[in-house]
Amino acid sequence: MGPFRTLYIDMNSFFASVEQQLNPAIRGQPVAITAMENEKGCCVAASYEAKAFGVKTGTSVPDARSLCPGIVFLPSRHRLYVRFNLRVAAVLDRYAELERIRSVDEFQIVLSGEATELDGARALVARLKSAVAAEVGVCLRFSAGIGPNHLLAKIAGKLEKPDGCQHLGPDNMPGRIADLALDDLPGISRSMRTRLEAAGVRDMVSLCRLDPRHARAIWRSVEGERFVRSLQGEPIPLVKTRRGGFGNSKVLAPEFRAPAEAYLVSRWLIEKAAARLRREARVAGSFALHLSPMGAPPWARSVRCAATQDTLEFMRMNRALWRRAWPYIRGRKLAAIGVHLGDVDFLTARTGDLLKPVAPGEMTAGERASVAADFINQRFGQGTIQFGINRPHPGFFERG
């Protein structure tokens, strides 16, 4: 058996490619996907034809139009992209062992048999590219990374775009990535790069040769040791993460930036987050509100509460935090807002309360009402039952 265990698939300009696949008239043209359908928005994705002009994720619509006068702007349709994600996943899983769907445009495959050798892995990549093109669409291309673990495979997948195939392994590490900056690697932020440099680790070769125990001290976590061991080619598996909370955030369109309108959007976000909490049979023991006034530092506060999944309880906490925020945000426009239900646990693990009274793992009357509202909304359409007045603000994740 050869040294390679993981194949990483990174779809190229996935959102724009899906749109080009569905509309042959825009194939070969620069295309940008926008979060909002006006000049205030920005690009959340761009085709390679647009990237050639300098348009990238985060480029504002006016700047993108200036960089590329002939660019085609299309509104994001996330549900559509999820459907294409599942179609690609189905094809990959027929030809190989699909281990994980890492994101809407990234997939992880387990290599075995002949594919653990470099030639066999490359032959598998060629088969997968042909199958995706034939069964999903010719515009759907991907770059592939081959490695002994998920981290090296993911890094390899970023080395040649679009439509590339690269590997990282004992024969070319660390020299193959020696020209990368530390924070070019997934999982290393600017602050972590600063911490590494303070510890004398200033280039990729030094990082790859770092003692894993020293890495644990620099990271102040076992994740540092896991990261460096992965860079050194050890078969370190992904750790299943524990969900820390349920949240929703929204970059506000101009008509929702006044505090009174933004407050109603926050109520809509709470309804969505609480419904997700109940779908997983969980309760939350804290609530947080994040507000980003335009031209001012953000404001954020949280409150702890008895563990609950009652939407109206979260609404009451939200109203109290908005009152606390009012002196700071009065007269300002808000660029973004967010809500977060934290300190989650399973409903079945909740202790009882003699004062309510509620037995261990039992729902309160308010929680049962919330579940009933979920059932009606699922049966007759979202918004059939609302928890008071709100302002729906569908955007990137709600379209399609």
According to the model, what pLDDT value does residue 384 have?
A: 87
According to the model, what pLDDT value does residue 400 have?
A: 42
According to the model, what pLDDT value does residue 392 have?
A: 87
User: For residue 67, is pLDDT > 90?
Assistant: yes
What is the identity of the amino acid at 194?
Answer: T
According to the model, what pLDDT value does residue 398 have?
A: 44
Residue with more model confidence, 98 or 379: 98
What's the chain look like in SS3? CCCCCEEEEEECCHHHHHHHHHCHHHCCCCEEEECCCCCCCEEEEECHHHHCCCCCCCCEHHHHHHHCCCCEEEECCHHHHHHHHHHHHHHHHHHCEEEEEEECCEEEEECCHHHHCHHHHHHHHHHHHHHHHHHCCCCCCEEEEEECCHHHHHHHHCCCCCCCEEECCCCCCCHHHCCCCHHHCCCCCHHHHHHHHHCCCCCHHHHHCCCHHHHHHHHCCHHHHHHHHHHCCCCCCCCCCCCCEEEEEEECCHHHCCHHHHHHHHHHHHHHHHHHHHHCCEEEEEEEEEEEECCCCCEEEEEEEEEECCHHHHHHHHHHHHHHHHHHHCCCCEEEEEEEEEEEEEHHHCCCECCCCECCCCCCHHHHHHHHHHHHHHHHCCCCCCCCCCCCCCCCCCCC
Q: Which of the four pLDDT bands, split at 50, 70 and 90, describes residue 245?
A: confident
Class of the CATH-defined domain 7-147: alpha beta
According to the model, what pLDDT value does residue 278 have?
A: 94
Q: Which of the four pLDDT bands, split at 50, 70 and 90, describes residue 184?
A: very high
Q: What are phi and psi of 137, to 5 degrees?
A: 160, 145
User: For residue 394, is pLDDT > 90?
Assistant: no
* Homologous superfamily assigned to 245-380: DNA polymerase, Y-family, little finger domain (3.30.1490.100)
Residue listed under structure tokens 């993981």: 6
What does the pLDDT look like over 285-323, one tens digit per residue?
Answer: 999 999 999 988 999 999 999 999 999 999 999 999 999
User: How confident is the model over 350-362, as a mean pLDDT?
Assistant: 77
pTM of the predicted model as reported, rounded to 2 decimal places: 0.69
According to the model, what pLDDT value does residue 243 have?
A: 64
User: For residue 354, is pLDDT > 80?
Assistant: no
User: For residue 338, is pLDDT > 90?
Assistant: yes
According to the model, what pLDDT value does residue 396 have?
A: 43
Of 37, 99, 106, 362, catalytic: 106
Q: 313 an active-site residue?
A: no
User: How confident is the model over 42-51, as a mean pLDDT?
Assistant: 92
115: region left, alpha or beta (phi > 0 left; psi from -120 to 50 alpha) = alpha
User: For residue 156, is pLDDT > 90?
Assistant: yes
> In 3D, which of 228, 338, 333, 243 has the Cα closest to residue 291?
338
Average pLDDT, the chain: 91
What does the pLDDT look like over 186-222, one tens digit per residue?
Answer: 889 888 999 999 999 999 999 999 999 999 999 988 9
According to the model, what pLDDT value does residue 25 have?
A: 96
According to the model, what pLDDT value does residue 262 have?
A: 95
Range scoring the smallest mean pLDDT among 1-15, 160-174, 177-191, 233-247: 233-247
Q: Where are the domains of the chain?
A: 7-147, 245-380
According to the model, what pLDDT value does residue 39 have?
A: 66
According to the model, what pLDDT value does residue 230 have?
A: 95
User: For residue 38, is pLDDT > 70?
Assistant: no
Max mean pLDDT among 60-69, 71-80, 122-131 falls in 122-131
